[in-house]
Structure 1
Amino acid sequence: MAIQGPAVKRRKIGRELQALRETSGLTIEEAGSKIGRSDSTISRIETGVRDVQLIELKGLLDAYDAPAETREALLNLLSATPEETWWTVFDLPPKLDTYVGLEAEAATLRVYALGAVHSLLRTEDYARAVLRGTSPSAPAGEIDALHKFHMQRQQVLTRETTPLELVAVLDEACLWRQVGGLDCQREQLKHLIQQAEEVPNVVVQVLPYSKGAHSALSGSFTILDFPDPTEPAVVYVDSPGGSLYLQKPKDTRRFDQSHSRLRGLALDETESVRFMKTVLKEMQ
């Protein structure tokens, strides 16, 4: 059995447990009651946000009267030791840990960025300015650690084996907002142009203001697609109210359609580079 990365492993176990629960006819609340856990805990286990403990897994398998073959497969999957991950040295909040685990195992990221350039396309100075702006009360040491983490994340685009494919639609606001000041923003624009022109696995499209209203005015989102075609896509939405991981087919289909529409509205790759160069010239 191939060893899964921690994030994908959690999702596989969660999906199997959800299927078993639904087959058994139990609700989330009833399943939680069977093993002395809250319904929110069962929900987090099923969506892969939280690890399931061995005692919990055995209890749920008993509650669902799982077939012996399924029981053995899930217990073996839980006990399989995942490869060591580089981000374990960082003290990340649980949801960010979940996200970077999924990102590291993804084949493609389809992104819409509304307010700032996506993390994987940021320069060091721009990334630090974003962190300072979004976390004004955070200690300098925390900002330094998060900055180092986000810079290291970008290696998914240049890894030797199957580098991540990034398809980013950037709202025009990402180009004009002077994050970190004028010089910082100009360097960020130069970097975006270089990435778009020279990195084959990076696609950058600009969505100009002139295109008017569209389906993603409410905010940015990321769709993560995986190499294994049986592994469902995940939609990640970050907001001031918290981070969401959407995995139901109706949700992923809605965002898939939205991203396709945004790409259709946006300038194509050549036009986008030309547009970014024009903004750079005008940004004096």
Structure 2
Amino acid sequence: MRRRIGRELLTLRESSGLTIEEAGAKIGRSDSTISRIENGKRDVQLIELKGLLEAYDAPAEMRELLLNLVTASPEEAWWTNFDLPPNLDTYVGLEAEAAMLRVYAQGSVHSLLRTEDYARAVLRGGNPSAPAGEIETLLKFHMQRQQVLTRESGPLELVTVLDEATLWRQVGGAQCQRDQLNHLIQQAEQVPNITLHVLPYSKGAHPSLNGAFTILDFPDPTEPSVVYVDSPGGNLYLQKAKDTRRFDQSHSTLRGMALDEADSVAFMKNVLKEIK
């Protein structure tokens, strides 16, 4: 399958008149990465495929074929049963391919760690006029996303730095927030592939005061990481080395400033006692 996809992409690139170097520049990848994809030596990420298809101005039929081939695995393509916005479809495809997520959560708890009631409250808060059926469909999608943490073919490793604000904000009310905190404590104490660090207010200024982000790392160490930033102005996928290095350094700094795992659990238990 990998070799077939590579051959098709090679044909498309040559038809477009782009060199390997030009194709790589279009999607923020090196010429060696494009060469390895075309030679069938490396899987193409969904975000890379979409970028190359756009750069090559690929015919609709070929776009559909290659996208179907890349998302052919039943385990990784379950989300195609949902009518998702294109940006969300791209993200969940990357998340399914990833081996590790390094997260900084600022405004709310990360989607993979939310309880059902908390997730419903977040969706309703962000879409106050949406029909109830739409909210429930999105809720089902987000709950199913969490299966990456327990999948048989290598559970996703999740390393999250939680800003203290995520612990105090009563999303869905006090009881909903208490349930969410209990869930976080349980995940931190019982799930080996989940690491939680709390960043207290007392730590002061830090490199990511402007917002949350997610770094997606992939099983093949030669595959560059992708940084995802969700903002009111749009969703960003950063792939250039200088950008990924910057966020890698930020996450390392945040993790260094945050409480260790045991102290983070103790901190969350203290917050839980204070929520009335």
Alignment TM class, shorter chain as reference: 0.7 to 0.9
Of the three residues 250, 263, 269, the one matched with 1:277 is 269
Which structure 2 segments of 5+ residues have no match? 27-45, 60-64
Measured against aligned partners, the alpha-carbon deviations of 1:101-136 in whole angstroms (never above 9, x if no partner) come to: 000010000000001000000000000000000111
Who is 1:70 aligned against?
none
Who is 2:73 aligned against?
83
**One-letter amino acid matched to 2:57:** E
The alignment partner of 1:170 has SS state of: strand
Displacement after TM superposition at 1:23 (Å): 3.7
Is 1:234 equivalent to 2:219 in the alignment?
no
Who is 1:249 aligned against?
241
Of the three residues 130, 153, 168, the one matched with 1:138 is 130
**One-letter amino acid matched to 2:73:** E
Who is 1:112 aligned against?
104
Displacement after TM superposition at 1:163 (Å): 0.2
Displacement after TM superposition at 1:80 (Å): 4.5
Please give the alpha-carbon distance, in whole angstroms, between the structure 2 residues aligned to 1:235 and 1:258.
Answer: 12
**One-letter amino acid matched to 2:178:** R
The alignment partner of 1:87 has SS state of: helix
**One-letter amino acid matched to 1:216:** S
CA RMSD after TM alignment: 3.2
The alignment partner of 1:175 has SS state of: helix
**Any residues of structure 2 matched to 1:116-265 within 5 Å, and which?**
116-265=108-257
**One-letter amino acid matched to 1:56:** D
Measured against aligned partners, the alpha-carbon deviations of 1:116-173 in whole angstroms (never above 9, x if no partner) come to: 0000000000000000001111111110110000000000001112000000000000
Displacement after TM superposition at 1:46 (Å): 8.4
Which structure 1 segments of 5+ residues have no match? 29-44, 59-75
Measured against aligned partners, the alpha-carbon deviations of 1:66-107 in whole angstroms (never above 9, x if no partner) come to: xxxxxxxxxx97795632410111000101000000000100
Q: Which has the larger radius of gyration?
A: 1
Please give the alpha-carbon distance, in whole angstroms, between the structure 2 residues aligned to 1:118 and 1:94.
Answer: 20
After TM superposition, the score normalised by the length of structure 1 is: 0.78
Is 1:103 equivalent to 2:111 in the alignment?
no
Is 1:268 equivalent to 2:267 in the alignment?
no
Please give the alpha-carbon distance, in whole angstroms, between the structure 1 residues aligned to 2:213 and 2:151.
Answer: 24
The alignment partner of 1:243 has SS state of: strand
Structure 1 runs of 4+ off > 2 angstroms?
1-4, 20-25, 45-51, 53-58, 76-84
- 1:3·1:80 contact (CA, 8 Å) conserved in 2? no
Please give the alpha-carbon distance, in whole angstroms, between the structure 2 residues aligned to 1:79 and 1:144.
Answer: 27
The alignment partner of 2:221 has SS state of: coil
- 1:49·1:95 contact (CA, 8 Å) conserved in 2? no
Give the 3 Å change call, closer, same or farther, for CA 213–52 of structure 1 in structure 2: same
Displacement after TM superposition at 1:57 (Å): 4.6
Aligned pairs, how many? Answer: 244
The alignment partner of 2:103 has SS state of: strand
- 1:106·1:224 contact (CA, 8 Å) conserved in 2? yes
Please give the alpha-carbon distance, in whole angstroms, between the structure 2 residues aligned to 1:192 and 1:239.
Answer: 24
Who is 1:62 aligned against?
none
**One-letter amino acid matched to 2:187:** Q
Please give the alpha-carbon distance, in whole angstroms, between the structure 2 residues aligned to 1:250 and 1:100.
Answer: 24
Percent pairwise identity: 68
Please give the alpha-carbon distance, in whole angstroms, between the structure 1 residues aligned to 2:85 and 2:114.
Answer: 21
After TM superposition, the score normalised by the length of structure 2 is: 0.80
**One-letter amino acid matched to 2:240:** K
The alignment partner of 2:53 has SS state of: coil
Please give the alpha-carbon distance, in whole angstroms, between the structure 1 residues aligned to 2:68 and 2:139.
Answer: 33
The alignment partner of 2:57 has SS state of: helix
Displacement after TM superposition at 1:21 (Å): 3.8
Displacement after TM superposition at 1:198 (Å): 0.2
